[in-house]
């Protein structure tokens, strides 16, 4: 929790804002009070997203509906909302206590506490599923440890089990892979969710519950890898090691982590398996958690006892062409604004680790006290902004760059090098072209591409200012863009390599090597069975080798 910034609104709807509870790439969560002094957590979507993409408003509207329909003592409720405001917002009822994520930094939970946690979360899932929703993002960031039990928060990606009329999966927002939209925190996905299956059932939440309980009992996610891609791959392929977990807990967790959704228990069965948790007469949680609660209550008093007549710096109008790019840390310090344009640099290609971190981060719109934003590594890893290159025609040269009046779906060829790009228009059916996935006028901030699906490259130019979000299209097929954990097919009878839905006995990418490489590089990759090399003449930096394995029948 920290001080409001000058740009933060002092009034949202009928609520007076008091402090910042957390923030991430998509927005901020503010502590606020109503006319009677009651506390709420106000979730704001950054105006740049509201201005450019109506799907963010649609998502917020679905979140409000889900949170209002679910009636449970163990879930947070939306008490007010205005998704049509210039800056859309939701107001959640306020719950005291840290997130499980923050609590685990202070102490691993003892067995009795984990059993109480399991009972509370199973109750929440029972009620969520009874309202015919799948939460789809049950993680340590979205569970609050209140004094009387856990509370599930943030229905940002909850979905009705029965799709609503007109609802479209295309409004799902978070990119885990460059080849498709996969929703959720990779470490807490179910295998079917990690595979990109869109029609998830309540059984998916049960798997997430098992992972969460194992994490709470040991302090470490059993599927955690070195990157988001590796973590997602582990969820799809690996089996959790539960040896360090006490037997009573292990039985509950093992049942939840069945790889076959049909064999997982429902939430009511999980509750029955837990039975009556041991009595903790003093408290449900260890002392370290109660220390966090007391610290938060002290902060609450400090921020809410400010006299209403206190003069704050007034909010300024936010420029919808700019976007905050602060990483989500526990520090409220913002990143400095970029300085003058540097010398020409190549178009920014996000690093593999940046893409994985983005996937984890974008979901964590935390809505309660102590819920520091979980986008801990959401940063703009792009290089300095690019000085535009001259185009091939007189008109292009006069305008300064070839992206004047560019539209989604336009294609370009790079006639320069990857270090000094020089784009010219090209036919989209041609070989080796860059396709425009999204173009943003009046800005050179490449972070606006962060939430555009499939983006590989980001390029900005001036006079007129524009940022384009690009993907490289290889003539050998869409599998060129596959990430580790994506399933692919092709290579026989001259067929192009494609990305397909993951199924048992199918081929899955177990490694991706960019630039020059050999088959020997894949031989050192675990689970590798074969490889395929995509080459780009004249630009070896764009070469990609996919190392592939087989999905086992038990996955």
Show contacts of 353-356: CB within 8 Å, 24+ apart: 353/227, 353/377, 353/381, 354/379, 354/381, 355/175, 355/177, 355/178, 355/228, 355/229, 355/483, 356/176, 356/186, 356/227, 356/228, 356/229, 356/230, 356/231
Domain region containing 381:
341-349+368-473
Q: Please indicate, yes or no, whether residues 295 and 418 belong to a single structural domain of this protein.
A: no
**Residue 202: exposed, middle, or buried by beta-carbon count in 10 A (0-12, 13-18, 19+)?**
buried
Q: Average pLDDT of 276-301?
A: 85
**With 60 as the cut, is the pLDDT of residue 90 above it?**
yes
Cα–Cα dist 474/432, whole Å? 5
Average pLDDT rounded to a whole number, residues 221-229: 88
Smallest CA-to-CA distance from 1 within 330, 365, 312 is with: 330
> 101: closest CA among 113, 91, 109?
109
Q: Is 333 within the bounds of a domain?
A: no
Structure tokens at 113: 């506490």
Two tokens, residue 279: 């009595």
How confident is residue 185, by pLDDT bands cut at 50, 70 and 90? confident
**What rounded mean pLDDT belongs to the chain?**
77
pTM for the full predicted model: 0.65
The token pair at 85 is 């405001």
Q: Is residue 14 part of a domain?
A: yes
Does any domain span residue 322? no
Rounded alpha-carbon distances, angstroms, from residue 166 to 5, 58, 255, 494, 522: 38, 11, 36, 39, 44
Statement to judge: residues 466 and 499 lie in one domain: no
Q: Are 16 and 89 contained in the same domain?
A: yes
Q: Is residue 313 domain-resident?
A: no
User: Are residues 141 and 64 both part of a single domain?
Assistant: no
Residues 145 and 278 in one domain: yes
**Which pLDDT score, from 0 to 100, does residue 251 have?**
94
**Is it the case that residue 306 has pLDDT exceeding 50?**
yes
Least trusted range by pLDDT, from 232-241, 356-365, 460-469, 486-495: 356-365
Q: Are residues 128 and 224 in the same domain?
A: yes
Which residue is listed with tokens 């921020």? Answer: 303
The domain boundary, picked from 458, 473, 488, lies at: 473
| Rounded to 5°, angle at Cα 414 from 409 and 418 | 120
Whether the pLDDT of residue 219 is over 90: the answer is yes
Specify the pLDDT at position 342.
38
Distance from C-alpha of 166 to C-alpha of 177, rounded to nearest angstrom? 26
The CA distance from 552 to 487, in Å, is 13
Distance CA 95, CA 300 (A): 12
- Residues contacting 101, CB < 8 A, separation 6+: 139, 140, 141, 372, 374
How far apart, in Å, are the Cα atoms of 278 and each of 97, 114, 288? 22, 10, 20
Residue-level pLDDT at 386:
42
- Is a pLDDT exceeding 50 seen at residue 164? no
Lowest pLDDT segment from 142-146, 211-215, 504-508: 504-508
Q: Is residue 312 part of a domain?
A: no
For the ranges 115-129, 331-345, 365-379, 515-529, the lowest mean pLDDT is seen at 365-379
CATH number for the domain spanning 110: value is 1.10.510.10
Torsion, Cα 436 401 446 26, to 10 degrees, reads -60
**Whether 207 and 140 share a structural domain:** yes
Tell me, yes or no, whether 336 lies in a domain. no
What total of structural domains would you count in the chain?
4
Q: How many CB atoms lie within 10 A of CB 502?
A: 21
The pLDDT score that the predictor gives to residue 184 is 64
In a domain, 464, yes or no: yes
pLDDT in the model for residue 249: 93
Task: Output the pLDDT for position 339.
Answer: 37
Choose the final residue of a domain: 427, 450, 473. Answer: 473
Mean pLDDT value of segment 239-268? 93
Q: Do 41 and 54 belong to one domain?
A: yes
Note whether residue 256 is domain-resident.
yes
User: Which range among 148-152, 155-159, 209-213 shows the weakest confidence by mean pLDDT?
Assistant: 155-159
520 with 394, same domain: the answer is no
Residues 196 and 290 in one domain: yes
Return the percentage of the chain with pLDDT > 90, whole number: 37
Q: What residues form DSSP beta bridges with 472? A: 434
d(CA 547, CA 531): 4
Averaged pLDDT, 266-280: 87
Neighbours of 173 (CB within 10 A): 21
User: Does 425 lie in the same domain as 484?
Assistant: no
Q: How confident is the model at residue 287 (pLDDT cuts 50, 70, 90)?
A: very high
Specify the residue for token string 């779906």.
409
Q: In the structure, how many helices (H) and strands (E) does the chain have? A: 13, 20
pLDDT exceeds cutoff 80 at 84: yes
Length of the chain: 555
Considering the domain architecture, whether residues 222 and 112 belong to the same structural domain is answered as yes
Pick the last residue of a domain from 457, 473, 489: 473
Question: How buried is residue 344: exposed, middle or buried, by Cβ count under 10 Å (0-12/13-18/19+)?
Answer: middle
pLDDT tens-digit map of 315-338: 333 333 332 323 333 333 333 333
Dihedral Cα 286, 205, 356, 101, nearest 10 deg: -10
- In this predicted structure, the answer to whether residue 130 has a pLDDT above a threshold of 50 is yes
The residue among 411 and 485 whose pLDDT is bigger is 411
Q: Tell whether the model's pLDDT for residue 7 goes beyond 70.
A: yes
Q: What is the pLDDT of residues 55-68, one digit of tens each?
A: 667 777 877 787 77
More confident residue, 473 or 166: 473
Helix, strand, coil percent values for the chain (each to nearest 5): 30, 20, 50
Q: What is the CATH number of the domain that holds 70?
A: 3.30.200.20
What is the band of 17 on the pLDDT scale with cuts at 50, 70, 90? very high
Residue listed under structure tokens 């969460």: 212
Average pLDDT over residues 461-467: 90
Give the range among 31-45, 126-140, 333-347 with minimum mean pLDDT: 333-347
Residue 324's pLDDT is what?
A: 30
pLDDT at 238: 86
Among the listed residues 25, 84, 123, 41, the one whose alpha carbon sits nearest the alpha carbon of residue 375: 25
Catalytic positions, please? 137
């Amino acid at each position: 929790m920290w001080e409001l910034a000058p740009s933060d609104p002092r009034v949202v709807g009928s609520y007076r804002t008091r402090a910042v509870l957390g923030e991430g790439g998509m927005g901020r969560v503010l502590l606020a009070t109503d006319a009677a002094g009651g506390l709420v957590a106000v979730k704001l979507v950054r105006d740049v997203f509201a201005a450019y993409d109506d799907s963010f408003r649609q998502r917020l509207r679905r979140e409000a509906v889900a949170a209002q329909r679910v009636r449970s003592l163990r879930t947070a409720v939306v008490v007010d909302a205005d998704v049509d405001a210039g800056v859309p917002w939701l107001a959640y009822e306020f719950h005291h206590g840290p997130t499980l994520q923050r609590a685990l930094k202070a102490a691993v939970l003892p067995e009795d506490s984990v059993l109480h946690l399991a009972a509370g979360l199973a109750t929440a899932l029972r009620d969520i599923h009874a309202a015919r929703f799948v939460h789809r993002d049950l993680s340590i960031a979205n569970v609050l440890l209140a004094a009387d039990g856990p509370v599930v928060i943030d229905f940002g990606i909850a979905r009705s089990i029965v799709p609503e009329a007109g609802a479209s999966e295309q409004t799902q927002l978070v990119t885990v892979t460059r080849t498709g939209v996969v929703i959720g925190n990779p470490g807490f996905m179910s295998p079917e969710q990690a595979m990109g299956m869109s029609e998830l059932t309540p059984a998916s939440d049960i798997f997430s519950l098992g992972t969460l309980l194992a994490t709470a009992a040991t302090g470490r996610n059993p599927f955690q890898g070195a990157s988001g891609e590796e973590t997602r791959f582990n969820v799809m392929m690996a089996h959790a090691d539960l040896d360090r977990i006490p037997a009573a807990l292990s039985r509950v967790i093992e049942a939840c982590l069945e790889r076959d959704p049909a064999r997982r228990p429902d939430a009511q069965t999980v509750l029955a398996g837990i039975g009556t948790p041991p009595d903790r007469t003093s408290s449900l949680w260890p002392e370290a958690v109660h220390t966090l609660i007391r610290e938060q209550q002290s902060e609450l008093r400090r921020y809410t006892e400010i006299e209403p007549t206190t003069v704050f710096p007034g909010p300024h109008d936010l420029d919808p062409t700019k976007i905050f790019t602060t990483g989500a840390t526990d520090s409220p310090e913002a990143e400095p604004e970029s300085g003058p344009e540097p010398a020409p640099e190549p178009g920014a290609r996000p690093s593999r680790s940046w893409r994985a971190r983005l996937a984890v981060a974008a979901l964590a719109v935390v809505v309660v006290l102590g819920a520091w934003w979980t986008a801990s590594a959401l940063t703009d890893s792009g290089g300095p902004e690019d000085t535009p290159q001259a185009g091939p025609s007189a008109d292009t040269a006069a305008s300064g760059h070839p992206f004047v009046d560019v539209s989604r779906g336009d294609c370009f060829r790079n006639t320069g090098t990857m270090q000094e790009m020089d784009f010219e228009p090209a036919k989209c059916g041609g070989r080796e072209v860059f396709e425009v996935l999204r173009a943003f006028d009046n800005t050179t901030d490449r972070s606006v591409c962060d939430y555009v699906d499939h983006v590989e490259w980001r390029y900005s130019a001036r006079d007129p200012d524009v940022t384009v979000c690009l993907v490289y299209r290889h003539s050998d097929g869409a599998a060129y863009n596959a990430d580790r954990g994506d399933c692919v097919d092709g290579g026989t009878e001259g067929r192009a390599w494609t990305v397909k839905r993951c199924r048992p006995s199918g081929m899955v990418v177990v490694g991706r090597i960019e630039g020059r490489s050999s088959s020997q590089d894949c031989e050192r990759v675990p689970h590798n069975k074969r490889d395929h090399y995509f080459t780009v003449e004249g630009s070896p930096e764009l070469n990609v080798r996919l190392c592939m394995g087989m999905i086992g029948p038990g996955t």
